[in-house]
Chains A and B, each alone.
Chain A
């Protein structure tokens, strides 16, 4: 009852953070016929280019540090097929090499959330909330994969996505195309691996979930409660300090996942869940030491708002 009142209050006031205003939406443009595989095809200019920030994954030991990598995403839908065109900067070409045992190839992945009102954990989904993945590694055919949490990635039945990749002067342009599957759901996320920094597994950069705006699909507003945070980030910062969150979550402590990019990678819904039920989903490699804090709902919202301000 109390929780319902809080949600009601959330709906009545103008939220300071919302997915819609943050631009976390990929609009899929409809077209006659199948979308082109060629990344240079003029049809791609009809799809709006969304710049998606890829953040270094802080939870992987030895993962990349450094700056945010912008990835340009476009999506076209037609003749029962969905195609995604991704372009990003990568100074050095690293393709799979049959004469190398010590080098890693550049790669990119598109991840789809299952349909529903909540989003699974953005890093490989979670038990009971499987994510579908299209995976491309330079020099190899694309793969269709599925995962339900860390370490669970496996080949998924069905045809592998079609792909075409183009090496540009300073990066990659990759188109991945497959049947527009009803399982693709409400949101899409991206990840890129840089072979030059031995990128593989968790050594990657990843985006937050982006709402998928596709004709006939669920409305992006279906993610309403996931997408808004009505708290006060200043009060949240004070609570963060008072409850000593930093003693585990500071980047160099390693007791809990670093939260330096929390607002860039997560949605308010996940952060709210992580605070209220810390044991519900644990990032592997970290002790399940996080206590359920004695917070009022408005304090939780303040903390969420503060974490959403961290990029």
Chain B
């Protein structure tokens, strides 16, 4: 456990699945050198198999004090190899050939975009942005026989020492979120670095700072004024994903509300479109109270009453969403 822990809250009611975070991350960190298939941050559609395919069934994490066995995702089948496109033919040769991938891809990030589940008129889906959780009990760190993974004292960011890593991939199997990727060209494992070079300069993570929906808050968990403490501990509307994996993740989610289902006569039933038990699977039993609190505060705001929770989630000022204890004179 580190002295301080930097954490993130993602409001799923504000995520529109635009993948700006995904591209902000990719263009900054993973667009070359065997990382092309990696998405340190991605947004997947839920319900769905996600990225890598079926990651929730791939094992890893903790069972009491023991590491649970986990599977290694396959590059072609479970991550998907990024296809090359016929740029030359489509853009620079005469004719009207459309731009198409040259190879048939088998999978990719958000492969099942907007598919979701349920039957018309009660189909449903929502977006789930995912990145390394910089866990308080990282299974990856415990699984490495070379102590190549460490958790930084000053902010709890979990990093892989690229000098020590020898590509054994015990960490990949151990991470229940499958957010460590093996780089087959480098022969080493790599992961989200929580943009630590930016954080050290007081600049928020690229995924959070570029989010057009103002869905991501960043703060230290011990910062009582920070959104993490407020949303997780005070209002209890932000919950960890799959807390039962036992790693104590530090990315939290405000669960999604949904419109009511329709009955056979086309009348709204009052039951939410996204089934409660599905959200419980992801976010645990506390999701019911969290959703009730959110609805209650939304109603207050609708009546013209004040709601500090809604004000926090609305994020009137972008800069207020990030509390990184910036050095003097540095503004994001």
User: CB within 8 Å of B: which residues of A?
Assistant: 96-102, 140, 150-151, 153-154, 200-202
Query: B178 CB to closest chain A CB, in angstroms?
Result: 11
Q: A97-B184, A100-B184, A101-B181 are in contact. Are A151 and B74 (CB under 8 A)?
A: no
User: B166 on the interface (CB 8 Å rule)?
Assistant: yes
A99, B34: Cα distance in complex, Å: 9
Q: Can you list 21 A-B contacts with CB-CB less than 8 angstroms, sorted by A residue number?
A: A96-B187, A97-B184, A98-B34, A98-B185, A99-B75, A100-B74, A101-B73, A101-B74, A101-B75, A101-B172, A102-B71, A102-B74, A140-B187, A150-B145, A151-B145, A153-B146, A153-B166, A154-B164, A201-B145, A201-B168, A202-B145
> Binding site of B, secondary structure by majority: helix, strand, loop or mixed?
loop
A99, B75: Cα distance in complex, Å: 6
A202, B145: Cα distance in complex, Å: 9
Query: B158 CB to closest chain A CB, in angstroms?
Result: 18
A96, B81: Cα distance in complex, Å: 17
A101 touches B184 (CB 8 A): yes
Instruction: Map CB proximity to A onto B139-174 as digits: 1 under 8 Å, 0 otherwise.
Output: 000000111000000000000000110111110100
A200, B182: Cα distance in complex, Å: 14
User: CB within 8 Å of A: which residues of B?
Assistant: 34, 71-76, 79, 81, 145-147, 163-164, 166-170, 172, 181-182, 184-185, 187
What is the chain A residue whose CB lies nearest that of B185? A98
A101, B76: Cα distance in complex, Å: 9
Contacts of A200 in B (CB 8 A): 166-169
What is the chain A residue whose CB lies nearest that of B147? A151
Query: B67 CB to closest chain A CB, in angstroms?
Result: 10
Contacts of B72 in A (CB 8 A): 101-102
Contacts of A201 in B (CB 8 A): 145-146, 166, 168, 170
Contacts of B169 in A (CB 8 A): 101, 200
Contacts of A101 in B (CB 8 A): 72-75, 79, 169, 172, 181-182, 184
Query: A111 CB to closest chain B CB, in angstroms?
Result: 16
A198, B167: Cα distance in complex, Å: 12
A151, B144: Cα distance in complex, Å: 9
What is the chain A residue whose CB lies nearest that of B184? A98
B75 touches A102 (CB 8 A): yes
Which one of B71, B72, B172 has the highest number of Cβ atoms from chain A below 10 Å of its Cβ? B72
A134, B146: Cα distance in complex, Å: 19
Contacts of A96 in B (CB 8 A): 184, 187
A100 touches B168 (CB 8 A): no
Contacts of A140 in B (CB 8 A): 187
What is the chain A residue whose CB lies nearest that of B170? A201
Besides the contacts A101-B72, A101-B182, what 8 more A-B pairs have beta carbons closer than 8 Å?
A97-B184, A98-B34, A101-B73, A101-B75, A101-B169, A153-B146, A200-B169, A201-B145
A140, B75: Cα distance in complex, Å: 19
A142, B181: Cα distance in complex, Å: 24
A200, B181: Cα distance in complex, Å: 17
A151 touches B146 (CB 8 A): yes
A83, B79: Cα distance in complex, Å: 42
A150, B172: Cα distance in complex, Å: 21
A99 touches B184 (CB 8 A): yes
What is the chain B residue whose CB lies nearest that of A99? B75
What is the chain B residue whose CB lies nearest that of A137? B187
Contacts of B34 in A (CB 8 A): 98
Query: B185 CB to closest chain A CB, in angstroms?
Result: 6
What is the chain A residue whose CB lies nearest that of B164? A154
Contacts of B74 in A (CB 8 A): 100-102
A124, B145: Cα distance in complex, Å: 13
A99, B81: Cα distance in complex, Å: 8
A97, B169: Cα distance in complex, Å: 15
Q: A140-B187, A153-B166, A200-B168 are in contact. Are A99 and B146 (CB under 8 A)?
A: no
Query: A173 CB to closest chain B CB, in angstroms?
Result: 23
What is the chain A residue whose CB lies nearest that of B166? A153
What is the chain A residue whose CB lies nearest that of B69? A62
